[in-house]
A and B are shown apart, each in its own frame.
Chain A
Amino acid sequence: MSVRVYVPLDAAARSVGADEVAAAIAGEAIAREIDIEIVRNGTRGMVWLEPLVEVATSGSRLAYGPVSPADVPSLFDSGFLTGGSHQLSLGPTSGIPFFARQDRVTFARCGLIDPLSLDEYRANGGLAGLTRALAMTREAIVQEVTDSGLRGRGGAGFPTGIKWKTVLDEPADQKYIVCNADEGDSGTFADRMLMEGDPFVLIEGMAIAAVAVGATMGYVYLRSEYPDAFNILQRAVAISRDAGILGPSALGSGHPFDIDVRLGAGAYICGEETSLLESLEGKRGVIRAKPPLPAISGLFGKPTVVNNVLSLASVPAILEKGAGYYAAFGTGRSRGTMPLQLAGNIKHGGLFETAFGMTIREAIFAVGGGTASGRPLRAIQIGGPLGAYFPDHLLDTPLDYEAMAAQKGMLGHGGIVVFDDSVDLARQARFAMDFCAIESCGKCTPCRIGSTRGVEVIDRIVAGEDRALNLELLDDLCEVMVDASLCQLGGLTPFPVLSALRHFPEDFDRPATASHQPALAKEGSQ
Chain B
Amino acid sequence: MTLVKEIDYGTPAATSEVAITLQIDGKPVTVPAGTSVMRAAKETGVSVPKLCATDSLDPFGSCRLCLVEIEGRRGTPASCTTPVEAGMKVTTQSQKLAKLRRSVMELYISDHPLDCLTCPANGDCELQDMAGAVGLREVRYGYEGANHLSEEKDESNPYFTFDPAKCIVCSRCVRACDEVQGTFALTVKGRGFASKISPGDMLFLESECVSCGACVQACPTATLTEKSVIEKGQPEHSVITTCAYCGVGCTFKAEMQGNEVVKMVPFKDGKANHGHSCVKGRFAWGYTTHRDRMLKPMIRKNITDRWQEVSWDEAISYAASEFKRIQATYGPDSIGGITSSRCTNEETYLVQKLVRAGFGNNNVDTCARVCHSPTGYGLKTTLGTSAGTQDFDSIEQTDVVVVLGANPTDAHPVFASRMKRRLREGARLIVIDPRRIDLVKSAHVEAEYHLPLRPGTNVAVINAMAHVVVTEGLVNEAFVTQRCDLAAFNRWREFIQDPRHSPESVESITGVPAADLRAAARLYATGGNAAIYYGLGVTEHSQGSTMVMGMANLAMATGNLGREGVGINPLRGQNNVQGSCDMGSFPHEFPGYRHVGELSVRSVFEEAWAVGLKGDPGLRIPNMLDAAVDGTFKGLYIQGEDIAQSDPNTKHVTAGLAAMECVVIHDLFLNETASYAHVFLPGSSFLEKDGTFTNAERRIGRVRKAIPPMAGYADWEVTIALAKAMGYEMDYSHPSEIMDEIARLTPTFAGVSYDKLERLGSIQWPCNEKAPEGTPVMHSEGFVRGKGQFMITEFIATDERATDRFPLLLTTGRILSQYNVGAQTRRTPNVEWFDEDVLEIHPWDAENRGINEGDRVALTSRAGETTLHARISERMQPGVVYTTFHFPGTGTNVVTTEFADWATDCPEYKVTAVQVRRTMHRAAWQENYDALREQTTIVGAPAGGAS
Contacts and interface: CB of A to CB of B under 8 A. Distances in A.
Contacts of A290: 81
Contacts of B190: 442
Count chain A CB atoms within 10 A of each CB in B78, B100, B171, B192 and give the residue with the most.
B192
A456 to B, nearest CB: 5
Interface stretch (B104-112, B515-523, B564-572, B596-604): B104-112
A486 B82 contact: no
Contacts of A476: 99, 103
Given A449-B111, A469-B140, A473-B140, A442 B63 contact: no
B53 to A, nearest CB: 11
B100 A480 contact: yes
A456 B192 contact: no
A291 B83 contact: yes
Nearest to A484: B64
A466 B99 CA distance: 22
A442 B103 contact: no
B100 A484 contact: yes
A442 B191 contact: yes
A483 B192 contact: no
Contact of B110 (A442, A453, A479, A486): A453
B191 A453 contact: no
A485 B67 CA distance: 10
Contacts of B394: none
Given A284-B187, A291-B83, A449 B110 contact: yes
A202 B229 CA distance: 60
Contacts of A267: 191
A487 to B, nearest CB: 10
B192 A437 contact: yes
Interface string A429-452: 000000001111111111111111
Contact of A452 (B83, B104, B145): B145
Nearest to A473: B140
Contacts of B103: 446, 476-477, 479-480, 484
A453 B103 CA distance: 12
A453 B61 CA distance: 21
Contact of A480 (B107, B111, B192): B107
B62 A439 contact: no
A442 B193 contact: yes
B195 A442 contact: yes
B188 A442 contact: yes
A446 B168 CA distance: 12
B194 interface: yes
A449 B107 contact: yes
B76 interface: yes
Contact of B64 (A438, A442, A444, A477): A444
B64 A440 contact: no
Contacts of B83: 291
A411 to B, nearest CB: 19
Given A449-B110, A456-B146, A291 B82 contact: yes
A269 interface: yes
A451 B195 CA distance: 13
B104 A448 contact: no
A453 B107 contact: yes
B479 interface: no
A289 interface: yes
B587 interface: no
A167 interface: no
Given A442-B193, A485-B64, A480 B104 contact: yes
A457 interface: yes
Contacts of A444: 61-64
The dominant DSSP class at the A interface is helix
Contact of B59 (A289, A447, A448): A289
Contact of A441 (B100, B110, B191): B191
B192 A440 contact: yes
Interface in A289-333: 289-291
Nearest to B80: A289
B75 A289 contact: no
A286 B175 CA distance: 14
Nearest to A269: B191
B104 A484 contact: yes
A189 B6 CA distance: 54
Contacts of B140: 469, 473
A450 B192 contact: no
B60 interface: yes
B64 A486 contact: yes
A443 B60 CA distance: 9
B107 A438 contact: no
B504 to A, nearest CB: 35
B141 interface: yes
B201 to A, nearest CB: 14
Contacts of A457: 141
B145 A289 contact: no
Contact of A289 (B78, B96, B111, B195): B78
A448 B78 CA distance: 17
B110 A448 contact: no
Contacts of A443: 60, 62, 171
Contact of A439 (B81, B188, B192): B192
Contact of B169 (A291, A448, A451, A453): A448
A452 B146 contact: yes
A290 B82 CA distance: 8
Interface string B87-126: 0000000001001100110011011000000000000000
A449 B100 contact: no
Interface string A478-505: 0110011110000000000000000000
A104 to B, nearest CB: 36
Interface in A158-207: none
A443 B81 CA distance: 14
A277 B195 CA distance: 20
A446 B107 contact: yes
Contacts of A480: 64, 100, 103-104, 107
Contacts of A447: 192
A286 B190 CA distance: 11
A485 B63 CA distance: 9
Contacts of B141: 453, 456-457, 473
A457 B146 CA distance: 12
Count chain A CB atoms within 10 A of each CB in B140, B168, B190, B191 and give the residue with the most.
B191
Given A442-B188, A453-B110, A448 B195 contact: yes
Contacts of A448: 169, 192-193, 195
A469 B139 CA distance: 12
B200 to A, nearest CB: 13
Nearest to B81: A289
Contacts of A469: 140
Interface string B291-312: 0000000000000000000000
A485 B59 CA distance: 16
Given A438-B192, A439-B192, A450 B107 contact: yes
A34 B171 CA distance: 68
A440 B195 CA distance: 10
A467 B168 CA distance: 29
Given A289-B81, A445-B108, A456 B64 contact: no
A440 B191 contact: yes
Interface in B159-183: 168-169, 171
Interface in B195-232: 195
Contact of A483 (B100, B169, B191): B100
B683 to A, nearest CB: 50
A502 B187 CA distance: 41
B107 A445 contact: yes
A290 B171 CA distance: 18
B863 to A, nearest CB: 51
Contact of B145 (A269, A453, A477, A484): A453
5 contacts: A290-B81, A446-B104, A446-B107, A476-B103, A477-B107
Query: Considering the complex of A and B, which 3 residue pairs feature the smallest CB-CB distances, nearest first?
Result: A289-B61, A442-B195, A440-B192
Given A445-B108, A484-B76, 6 more contacts: A291-B81, A291-B83, A442-B169, A443-B62, A452-B146, A479-B103
